[in-house]
Amino acid sequence: MLAVFLSQVNLNQLTDLWRQVEYSAIVLALGLLCCEGLITAQRIRLFASGNPTFGGSLLANAWYSILVVILPARLGELAAVVVFEKILGQQRGGAVTNIIAQRLFDLIVLSTLFAVALIFLAHIPSPHVSALLAAATVLLALVLVVCMEQILTVLARLIIDSGPRDQSRFRRALLRVVLQGRIWRRHHCCSGLESRALLLTLIKWLSTLLALALVIGALTEVLDP
């Protein structure tokens, strides 16, 4: 993607544009993005069982981000399971549910922020419908978080009932992952942890969105005639 972008851009014009940008806004945006990285690492550590080090969580987050960027179709999420296993010492099922929980908390916070933003953006077509959809998304994500153990229990039962365990290596591996995920949800992910994770997620996305707003604002000032 970067190569395609650079092939369509006049580098001389891009250099001139960069010289006119307000550097203080860019530096502040970079600082906020660094803050977002630290918060994400702390959230990974919070969700990980076994109390891994913060340095290990930072390294896992770095590899996680790289894999998500370079691999297509969100395959980085799957590859991150291996990263969590190797760096954080997580069981495969715990790593999978860790990532799923992070995405659900992201969905809760982003949908909530979107619904709140609709209050101040009345010019959006059908704001009430959009707000209702955002609220429904938040509710669905909350249900998935709260009922994750029950959902995994049902899934494990379906896998067991689908046939004898010794007939399929894939079925046994899948069942192991589901049961490990259920153990993670039952013994590690408590209500206190969820509250802290929700707060970290809110700060994470506020930092990201503010950094994006600063960059867009700095570029807009330069591009406006």
Express each pLDDT in 161-219 by its tens digit: 877 655 678 888 889 999 999 998 888 877 678 889 999 999 999 999 999 888 888 77
Is pLDDT at 146 greater than 80 in this prediction?
Answer: yes
pLDDT tens digits along 50-72: 888 999 999 999 999 999 888 88
Q: At what angle do helices 23-47 and 191-223 cross, to 10 degrees?
A: 160
Cβ distance 93 to 81 under 8 Å? no
- Residue 14 inside a domain? The answer is no
User: DSSP letters along the chain, please?
Assistant: -HHHHHHTS-HHHHHHHHHHS-HHHHHHHHHHHHHHHHHHHHHHHHHSTT---HHHHHHHHHHHHHHHHHSSTTHHHHHHHHHHHHHH---HHHHHHHHHHHHHHHHHHHHHHHHHHHHH-TTSSSHHHHHHHHHHHHHHHHHHHHTHHHHHHHHHHHHHHTS-GGG-HHHHHHHHHHHHHHHHHHHT--HHHHHHHHHHHHHHHHHHHHHHHHHHHHHHHHH--
- Residue 21 inside a domain? The answer is no
Tokens, residue 50: 């076994």
> Which residues, at least 6 apart from 104, have a Cβ–Cβ distance to it below 8 Å?
141, 144, 145
Is pLDDT at 130 greater than 60 in this prediction?
Answer: yes
Confidence of residue 99 (pLDDT cuts 50, 70, 90): very high
Cβ distance 83 to 48 under 8 Å? no
Write the CA distances from 76 to 64, 70, 91, 92, integer angstroms.
7, 8, 18, 15
**d(Cα 71, Cα 189) in Å, to the nearest integer?**
29
Q: What is the extent of the structural domain holding 122?
A: 29-223
Cβ distance 48 to 189 under 8 Å? no
User: What pTM does this model have?
Assistant: 0.83
- Residue 63 inside a domain? The answer is yes
- Residue 94 inside a domain? The answer is yes
Cβ distance 192 to 10 under 8 Å? no
- Residue 189 inside a domain? The answer is yes
> Which residues, at least 6 apart from 131, have a Cβ–Cβ distance to it below 8 Å?
115, 118, 119
- Residue 209 inside a domain? The answer is yes
How many domains does the chain contain in total? 1
- Residue 22 inside a domain? The answer is no
Residue 189's pLDDT is what? 76
- Residue 11 inside a domain? The answer is no
**d(Cα 175, Cα 157) in Å, to the nearest integer?**
9
